[in-house]
Structure 1
Amino acid sequence: MTIQPETESQAQAQAAEFAAFLVGHLNGRVHQALSEELHELLQAVSTHGKKGQLVIKVQVEPSKGHVEGDPLAISVESDLRAPKSTPPAAIYFVDDDGNPTRNDPRQMQLDFRTAPATTNFKDA
């Protein structure tokens, strides 16, 4: 395999930095929004101990009736899937009518009454 020296046109066709594109796209608004979503994702993962993801999609469309050299429409979309808290479950019984109840319908209910308040204490 022989390595040929780069021609001048090959040297000029270097890829632009993706990060620089994001920072400049729509005057930085996309970069700011993505930074906020990443921050939200990091907080949610740290808080809930579950994984999440931030998907960034760059879509490039040619103009209608594409002619070489025409401008391209570039859009950036994101999809944030941050973990959420799982609400705790509560225990319920089902009564004779099929409705949820916090009291066990098989258990006899005890009627409690409040003892009278007193400030007199016995001396020991």
Structure 2
Amino acid sequence: MSRLVTLVALLDDLLLFVSPAVLACVLYAFGLIPLWTAAVISAPFIVLAVYVGVKVFKEGPRGFAYVGGRGVAVEDLRPSGVVKIGGEYWRAICRDCAVGAGECVVVEEVKDGVAYVRPCR
């Protein structure tokens, strides 16, 4: 996932999480609710927004963690099919090769949700 997409997703989540907190502060500013009520309403949403923000930026792109890893072909790759890598099923393409079901594969690249693999040696 590109950094721009990550940033847009983060801003969307922050807007959803922080909106109730902003609304509570506005209601306090107009004297409709006391300060303690605004704080009680705002605190969980702000904590959740901070948690999501930290988690999004600390977590690396998922697909790149599998590069160099091994998996098993679930179906014949001639040249495309399905492989199981790290307990997850991926669409895969075997460039200039053919792999039978049950054979070992090594991930060379992950691009647009597709794992590019080669047979194990």
TM-score, normalization by structure 2: 0.26
Q: Which has the larger radius of gyration?
A: 1
Which protein is richer in helix relative to its size? 2
